[in-house]
Amino acid sequence: MARQPHDFDALYAGADPPPWEIGRPQPALLALVRRSVVADPVLDVGCGTGVLALAVARAGHRVVGVDAAAHAISRARERAAESIVVPPGEVRFEVADVRRLDRLDLRPRTVLDSGLLHSLDDAGRTAYVAGLAAICPPDALVAVLAMSVAAGLGWGTTGDRLREAFEGPAWSATAVSYAEIAARPAGEEQHLPALLLTTRRT
Ligand X SMILES: C[S@@+](CC[C@H](N)C(=O)[O-])C[C@H]1O[C@@H](n2cnc3c(N)ncnc32)[C@H](O)[C@@H]1O
Contact footprint for ligand X (CB under 6 A): 5, 8, 20-21, 26, 46-48, 52, 67-69, 72, 97-99, 114-116, 119, 124
CB 145 within 8 A of CB 196: yes
Q: Half-sphere exposure of residue 90, counting CA atoms within 13 Å on the CB side?
A: 17
**CB-nearer residue toward ligand X: 46 or 156:** 46
**CB-nearer residue toward ligand X: 41 or 202:** 41
**Distance in Å, CB of 20 to ligand X, minimum:** 4
**CB-nearer residue toward ligand X: 22 or 202:** 22
**Distance in Å, CB of 169 to ligand X, minimum:** 25
Task: Report d(CA 31, CA 170) in Å as an integer.
Answer: 26
**Distance in Å, CB of 191 to ligand X, minimum:** 14
Nearest to 44 by CA among 88, 104, 3: 104
**CB-nearer residue toward ligand X: 90 or 97:** 97
Q: How many CB atoms lie within 10 A of CB 36?
A: 8
Task: Report d(CA 178, CA 190) in Å as an integer.
Answer: 16
Task: Report d(CA 160, CA 31) in Å as an integer.
Answer: 23
**Distance in Å, CB of 84 to ligand X, minimum:** 22
